[in-house]
Amino acid sequence: MTQDPLVIFTPSGKRGRFAVGTPVLTAARQLGVDLDSVCGGRGICSKCQVSPSYGSFSKHGVTVAEGALSDWNKVEQRYDDVRGLKPGRRLGCQATVQGDVVIDVPAESQVHRQVVRKAASARAVTMDPATRLAYVEVAEPDMHVPTGDFERLKTALAEQWDITDVTADLAILARIQPVLRKGAWKITVALNQPAEGAAHRIVDLWPGFFEGPLYGLAIDLGSTTVAAHLTNLVTGEVTASAGIMNPQIRFGEDLMSRVSYAMMNPGGDAEMTRTVREALDTLAREIAAEGAIDPAHIVETVFVCNPVMHHLLLGIDPVELGQAPFALAVSGALEMSAAELGLTALSPGARSYILPCIAGHVGADAAAVALSEEPEKSEDLVLIVDVGTNAEILLGNTSRVLACSSPTGPAFEGAQISSGQRAAPGAIERVEIDPDTKEPRFKVIGCDLWSTDPAFAEATAATGITGICGSGIIEAVAEMRMAGLLDPSGLIGGPDKTGTPRSEPQGRTFAYLLHNGTAEGGPRISVTQGDIRAIQLAKSALYAGARLLMDEMGVDTVDRVVLAGAFGAHISPKHAMVLGMIPDVEISRVSSAGNAAGTGARIALCSRAARARIEAQVRRITKVETAIEPRFQEHFVAANAIPHATAPYPNLRSLVPLPQVSFNAGSSGDDGGNRRRRRRPA
Amino acid sequence: MTQDPLVIFTPSGKRGRFAVGTPVLTAARQLGVDLDSVCGGRGICSKCQVSPSYGSFSKHGVTVAEGALSDWNKVEQRYDDVRGLKPGRRLGCQATVQGDVVIDVPAESQVHRQVVRKAASARAVTMDPATRLAYVEVAEPDMHVPTGDFERLKTALAEQWDITDVTADLAILARIQPVLRKGAWKITVALNQPAEGAAHRIVDLWPGFFEGPLYGLAIDLGSTTVAAHLTNLVTGEVTASAGIMNPQIRFGEDLMSRVSYAMMNPGGDAEMTRTVREALDTLAREIAAEGAIDPAHIVETVFVCNPVMHHLLLGIDPVELGQAPFALAVSGALEMSAAELGLTALSPGARSYILPCIAGHVGADAAAVALSEEPEKSEDLVLIVDVGTNAEILLGNTSRVLACSSPTGPAFEGAQISSGQRAAPGAIERVEIDPDTKEPRFKVIGCDLWSTDPAFAEATAATGITGICGSGIIEAVAEMRMAGLLDPSGLIGGPDKTGTPRSEPQGRTFAYLLHNGTAEGGPRISVTQGDIRAIQLAKSALYAGARLLMDEMGVDTVDRVVLAGAFGAHISPKHAMVLGMIPDVEISRVSSAGNAAGTGARIALCSRAARARIEAQVRRITKVETAIEPRFQEHFVAANAIPHATAPYPNLRSLVPLPQVSFNAGSSGDDGGNRRRRRRPA
Element (H, E) at B131: strand B131-137
3-state class (DSSP) for residue B480: helix
B120 with B592: CB under 8 angstroms?
no
Question: What percent of chain A clears pLDDT 70, i.e. is strictly above it?
Answer: 93
A432 and A392, same structural domain?
Answer: no
Confidence tier at B286 by pLDDT (50, 70, 90): very high
B146 contacts A329? CB cut-off 8 A: no
Q: Is the pLDDT of residue B549 over 90?
A: yes
Confidence tier at B674 by pLDDT (50, 70, 90): very low
> Distance between CA atoms of B564 and B658, rounded to whole angstroms?
26
Question: CB-side exposure of B172: number of CA atoms within 13 Å?
Answer: 22
B360 contacts A329? CB cut-off 8 A: no
> Distance between CA atoms of A393 and A649, rounded to whole angstroms?
20
A317 contacts B178? CB cut-off 8 A: yes
Q: How many domains does chain B have?
A: 5
Domain termination residue (choose one: A146, A178, A207): A207
Q: Which residues of B touch A331 (CB under 8 A)?
A: 146-148, 150-151
B458's CB contacts (< 8 A; 6+ apart) are none
Element (H, E) at B467: strand B467-468
A78 and A48, same structural domain?
Answer: yes
pLDDT digits (tens, 9 = 90+) for A240-296: 999 888 999 888 877 888 999 999 999 999 999 999 999 999 999 999 999 999 999
User: What is the distance in angstroms between the Cα of A620 and the nearest Cα belonging to chain B?
Assistant: 11
pLDDT of amino acid A121: 46
Angle subtended by helix axes B307-314 and B268-290, to nearest 10: 90
B354 and B235, same structural domain?
Answer: yes
Comparing CA positions, the residue from A253, A307, A312, A245 lying closest to residue A279 is: A245
Comparing CA positions, the residue from A243, A238, A336, A342 lying closest to residue A293 is: A238
Q: Is residue B439 part of a domain?
A: yes
B348 and B231, same structural domain?
Answer: yes
For residue B192, the domain's CATH number is 3.10.20.880
Q: Is residue B122 part of a domain?
A: no
User: What is the distance in angstroms between the Cα of B330 and the nearest Cα belonging to chain A?
Assistant: 4
Confidence tier at B292 by pLDDT (50, 70, 90): very high
Evaluate the omega torsion of the peptide bond into residue A207 and state whether it is cis, within 30 degrees of 0. Answer: no
> Distance between CA atoms of B279 and A320, rounded to whole angstroms?
40
User: What is the distance in angstroms between the Cα of A243 and the nearest Cα belonging to chain B?
Assistant: 26
pLDDT of amino acid A681: 42
A68-92 burial code (b ≥16 CB/10 A, e <16): bbbeeeeebeebeeeeebeeebbbb
Q: Is residue A327 part of a domain?
A: no
Strands A238-245 and A225-232 come out as: antiparallel
Domain termination residue (choose one: A171, A186, A207): A207
Q: Is residue B677 part of a domain?
A: no
In chain B, the residue whose alpha carbon lies closest to the alpha carbon of A149 is B329
pLDDT digits (tens, 9 = 90+) for A82-107: 888 888 889 999 999 998 888 999 88
3-state class (DSSP) for residue B599: helix
Q: What is the dihedral of CA B340, B341, B347, B352, to 10 degrees?
A: -100
B233 and B202, same structural domain?
Answer: no
Residue type, B515: H
φ, ψ for residue B387, nearest 5 deg: -90, 125
User: What is the distance in angstroms between the Cα of A628 and the nearest Cα belonging to chain B?
Assistant: 9
Residue in A151, A330, A362 nearest the CB of B151: A330
B576 and B486, same structural domain?
Answer: no
Comparing CA positions, the residue from B410, B373, B424 lying closest to residue B395 is: B373
pLDDT of amino acid A54: 59
User: What is the distance in angstroms between the Cα of A170 and the nearest Cα belonging to chain B?
Assistant: 7
The runs of H, that is alpha helices, within A95-245 are: 149-161, 170-182
Strands A200-207 and A186-192 come out as: antiparallel
pLDDT digits (tens, 9 = 90+) for A667-678: 444 444 444 444
pLDDT digits (tens, 9 = 90+) for B638-656: 999 998 877 778 888 888 8
B649 and B560, same structural domain?
Answer: yes
Mean pLDDT of chain B: 89
Query: Residue B19 sits in which domain range?
Result: 6-109
B144 contacts A623? CB cut-off 8 A: yes
A144 contacts B623? CB cut-off 8 A: yes
A540 and A604, same structural domain?
Answer: yes
Q: Around Cβ B228, how many Cβ atoms within 10 Å?
A: 25
Q: Is residue B539 part of a domain?
A: yes
A423 and A519, same structural domain?
Answer: yes
Q: Which residues of A touch B148 (CB under 8 A)?
A: 327-332, 357
A68 and A15, same structural domain?
Answer: yes
Provide the 8-state DSSP code for A194: S
- Output the CA angle A471-A477-A482, nearest 5 degrees: 120
φ, ψ for residue A52, nearest 5 deg: -70, 150
> Distance between CA atoms of B598 and B512, rounded to whole angstroms?
35
Q: Is residue A329 part of a domain?
A: no
Q: Is residue A456 part of a domain?
A: yes
φ, ψ for residue B343, nearest 5 deg: -85, 95
pLDDT digits (tens, 9 = 90+) for A374-427: 999 999 999 999 887 778 899 999 999 999 988 888 788 777 899 988 778 889
CB pairs under 8 A between A and B: 142
Residue in A320, A336, A357 nearest the CB of B170: A336
Q: What is the ipTM of this complex?
A: 0.82
Confidence tier at A133 by pLDDT (50, 70, 90): very high
For residue B334, the domain's CATH number is 3.30.420.480
A71 with A40: CB under 8 angstroms?
no
B590 and B489, same structural domain?
Answer: no
List residues of chain A with CB under 8 Å from any CB of chain B.
140-144, 146-151, 169-171, 173-174, 176-178, 314-317, 319-320, 324-332, 336, 340, 357-360, 362, 623, 625, 628
Mean pLDDT of chain A: 89
Domain termination residue (choose one: B153, B179, B207): B207
> Distance between CA atoms of B597 and B225, rounded to whole angstroms?
13
A604 and A580, same structural domain?
Answer: yes
Q: Is residue B151 part of a domain?
A: yes
φ, ψ for residue B260, nearest 5 deg: -60, -40
Q: What number of residues does chain B have?
A: 682
